[in-house]
Amino acid sequence: MARLTNAKPGWWQKGKILIVSLYVDDLIFTGNDESMFVKFKNSMKLEFDMTDLGRMKYFLGVDLLQNPEGIYISQRKYAKDVLEKFGMEKSNNVKNLIVPGVKLTKDEEGSKVNATMYKQLVGSLMYLTVTRPDLMYVVSLISRFMISPTELHLQAVKRVLRYLKGTVDLGVFYQNEGNGELMAYTDSVYVGDTNDRKSTSGYVFLLSGGDVSWSLKKQPVVALPTTEAEFVAVASCVCQGVWMRRVLEKLVLFSRQVYHRIM
């Protein structure tokens, strides 16, 4: 739900807007006019056999709390399920995702671990980044070794799970009275991958006090000076910023947002 800006707008009428997001047989919609909600639900029920579930509280592993102050999204239940699935629910908490200064490498001489289990671990953590941008850097890092993981890489993944155990309640909060200003932060890690010498780019966009878009990945080219790595990171951020600005202009940044779900 943090990425509803990707949904195509519809039902435009004199400054009113209704946005519909479809996933298989589930529909999520939001907008700025209650009467349009009623018309849309009635029209869908006439065409399809659907049930109105009211204001959305849970969808695809994402918990959603709506109140007059704003909208809070998290993956608390999903995070607990991941910890239980991989037997880490009783592990000790840690306060950082990775040991400071550590850079993971291919570790070709290391002891191999079950690649299927490793991929399941990384895949589960990838989905958690839907509401947890704080996990992006390390998840991007550990995902580079899914072909031939070793004990070193597995220990890094388990540390992420130990961090997750102490932070399952974290999420993203979007203030209802935000100023509507789109803000972006970007940075790069020079030679983030010591194997191919490629740097890492990252950015995050904030709107109404909450993160709405974030990314962290290796750069497509090998940057020689640190300045070049910075320019590549900025260029990627600017491209995303231009696209987001165009989407927000289409959406007209409607003020009162309420999400509903029907299926």
**Would you list the DSSP string of 222-237?**
--SSHHHHHHHHHHHH
Sequence spans of domains, the chain: 4-69+176-262, 76-165
Those residues with Cβ within 8 angstroms of residue 63's Cβ, 6 or more apart along the chain or in another chain: 57, 73, 74, 75, 76, 77, 171
- Give the pLDDT score at 163: 93
What pLDDT tens digit does each residue of the chain (263 aa) get?
A: 223 333 344 444 456 778 888 888 788 888 777 888 888 888 888 888 888 888 888 888 888 888 888 888 899 999 999 999 998 888 888 888 888 877 788 888 888 889 999 999 999 999 999 889 888 888 988 888 888 899 999 999 999 999 999 898 888 888 877 666 788 888 888 887 777 788 888 888 888 778 888 888 888 888 888 888 898 899 989 999 889 888 887 776 544 444 444 54
Q: Which amino acid is at 174?
A: Y
Supply the DSSP symbol for 252: T
CA-CA distance, 161 to 86, in Å (whole number)? 9
Start-to-end CA distance of the chain, whole Å, equals: 16
DSSP secondary structure string for all residues of 199-223: -EEEEEEEETTEEEEEEEEE-SS--
Helix 76-85, helix 115-128: angle, nearest 10: 170
- Give the pLDDT score at 200: 85
CA-CA distance, 74 to 128, in Å (whole number)? 9
- Give the pLDDT score at 178: 65
